[in-house]
Amino acid sequence: MVGEVHPPGRAFAYLKYVLSKAEKARRVLRFYSVPHVEETMRMLEDRYPEYMFQDEFSGLRFPAVPAGRVKVHHKPEDGIRRITEAPRDPLEEKASRLAVLLSEKAGVPLGNFGVTGSILLGIHSLAYSDIDLIVYGLKESLKVKEALRSLYGEAESGIEKIRGERLRRWCEEKARLHPLTFQEAEEVYRRTWNRGVYRGTFFSVHPVKADWEVKEAYGDRKLKGEGIVEAEATILDASESIFLPAVYRIGEVKVSIGPEAGGIIKLVSFEGLYGGIFAEGERVKVRGLLERVESLKDDVVYRRILVGSRAAGGRDYVKPA
């Protein structure tokens, strides 16, 4: 699923796996980048157009699974409970130990954690699958963030940052998929808190809002793209940048390329690479889609710069200025 706001009776989502003739899951979304997501969207349009949805509030067409087509709802919180109580293999046991370690170090109940990705679906490989954890709640996620930063410095924890050849490959991949140099990719990872290695296995931690923290409903606002811009801005508030989409409140915006417009107060990234890596007071440079946002609840109008849009074609970014 993508984001926290969905149309009635549907769920916005990326197509990640399809069943092969042998009834085995085959990954079709190779990378989480706009060009690769668009490949899967073309597949859906050609073969399963009923999974595509025309959003009247943005004017865009995007995958949104009809509720009636959902056969099984895999819940991350159920997954973490299962692998903690009865792990079926060494990777599930390792994922369970990592979640318990973070829970204890952060003082966050294990019930606020979930496991996602291939482990949740039970299609993981012991040889190459990663551990992907979820933390529910803003306060809880910030506690886990601080705990993880502390654990990176404790050798006995088994948690470390990506280094050496693994880091080189990671940076090369990001520089290939995004408009970043190798050195810029290195800087992105230096700032990244939620991706590392646990006892030899890559892991990631993804904050998700608790249900009661979601204040927006589908149809509350209308979006209109106004063109690609390049700009500099100051981060005013980064508290919700750890979620997907990452939301930064910004000020002192100076547009250098693209349509000039006032009222730009937010930087929103659906590209997870840029989530949670910039701090209040920091100056950033950004390339993205300028959008006019109209609140249909109170008639407030503002603008935001969106990173991760189809319009930008994967050539958008956020970098330190």
pLDDT at 315: 96
pLDDT tens for 210-239 read: 999 999 999 999 999 999 999 999 999 999
Average pLDDT of 287-297? Answer: 96
Contact 133, 144 (CB under 8 A): no
Which backbone phi and psi does 185 adopt, to 5 degrees?
-65, -40
pLDDT band at residue 30 under the 50/70/90 scheme: confident
pLDDT band at residue 44 under the 50/70/90 scheme: very high
pLDDT at 31: 83
The DSSP bridge partners found for residue 269 are 246, 307
Measured between alpha carbons, how far is 43 from 16 in angstroms, rounded to an integer? 11
Three-class secondary structure of residue 291 per DSSP? strand
Which backbone phi and psi does 89 adopt, to 5 degrees?
-160, 170
The two tokens of residue 42 are: 């073309």
pLDDT tens for 64-116 read: 999 999 999 999 999 999 999 999 999 999 999 999 999 999 999 999 999 99
CB contact set of 242 (below 8 Å; sequence gap of 6+): 138, 141, 142, 145, 194, 207, 275, 276
Contact 210, 137 (CB under 8 A): yes
pLDDT band at residue 27 under the 50/70/90 scheme: confident
% of the chain with per-residue pLDDT over 90: 91
pLDDT at 258: 95
pLDDT at 24: 78
CA 189 to chain centroid? 15
Average pLDDT of 169-193? Answer: 97
Give yes or no for residue 320 having a pLDDT over 80.
yes
Positive or negative: CA dihedral 200, 206, 207, 212: negative
The two tokens of residue 289 are: 């889609």
Give yes or no for residue 21 having a pLDDT over 90.
no
Measured between alpha carbons, how far is 140 from 135 in angstroms, rounded to an integer? 7
pLDDT at 241: 98
Strands 301-307 and 264-269: parallel
pLDDT at 1: 85
pLDDT band at residue 121 under the 50/70/90 scheme: very high
Tell me what the pLDDT averaged over the chain comes to: 95
CA 237 to chain centroid? 18
What is the pTM (predicted TM-score) of this model? 0.93
pLDDT at 197: 98
Give yes or no for residue 181 having a pLDDT over 90.
yes
pLDDT at 237: 98
pLDDT tens for 128-167 read: 999 999 999 999 999 999 999 999 989 999 999 999 999 9
Q: Which has the closest alpha carbon to 158: 243, 97, 219?
A: 97
Which backbone phi and psi does 58 adopt, to 5 degrees?
-125, -15
Q: Which residue ranges form the domains of the chain, and what is each CATH number?
A: 10-69 (no CATH), 76-211 (no CATH), 221-320 (2.40.50)
